[in-house]
Amino acid sequence: MGYVTISSDDGGAFQAYSAAPSNPGDAPGIVLIQEIFGVNKVMRDLADGYAGLGYHVLCPDIFWRIEPGIDISDQSQAEWDRAFELFGLFDSDKGVSDLKATLSHLRSMPGCTGKVGSVGYCLGGKLAYLMATRTDADCNVSFYGVGLDGLLDEAKAIRTPYLSHIAALDGFVPPEAQAAIQAGLGDNRFCSLHVYDQQDHAFARQGGEHFDKAAADLANQRTADFFQANLR
């Protein structure tokens, strides 16, 4: 476990937390996309968890263009305020560009088979959707992605497996947005959508206000099965 440096397509460089599988031999990769709190302990623990399932994992610092090294939590109002400030300053198009660079870097790393998927949470869930529409990632997973309803014009570009976990009571994705997402993606044979009744945003965030173990376990198992089917 540690950090690697990735070159951006416009001459910059940023850090990504790296986690490797313990078993020897080649393995697929996963680009893990952060929430609005940076590459914090929650993200590092997730990266280690996916590595434990047998994947090479990179979790890039997508806020580096604003401020490198953001590492905050959801445990204080000041941190929430800073997180939403960063969210407001974030450029999604540049973020996808940096994720493409991460995807390329991961595919070239020793021990990676070249098959690489992505998984993102919250803001990262939106970006995982954009990885599905704008990149050649082998598969992609969104946990309670925000803003997908405004990006459905890109859905026709999805040509690799895409999995979306939707919280029925998500305060950041109201019912009308959820209905639009289901209508916009439901007929695409590459898309699988799961709605979690009685769950709010970030139901899978360990230690979060809305964490629900049963729902998180179900979503995590579905994700593990999805990656097993599409990356192995």
**Catalytic positions, written as ranges:** 170, 201
* Rg over CA atoms, the chain: 16
Residue 56 parent element (H or E): strand 56-60
Enumerate the β-bridge partners of residue 117.
30, 139
Q: Please list the alpha-helical segments (H only) found in the chain.
A: 41-52, 77-89, 92-108, 123-134, 175-185, 213-231
Enumerate the β-bridge partners of residue 26.
none
- Among 167, 205, 169, residue whose Cα is nearest residue 75: 205
- Among 3, 185, 14, 5, residue whose Cα is nearest residue 97: 14
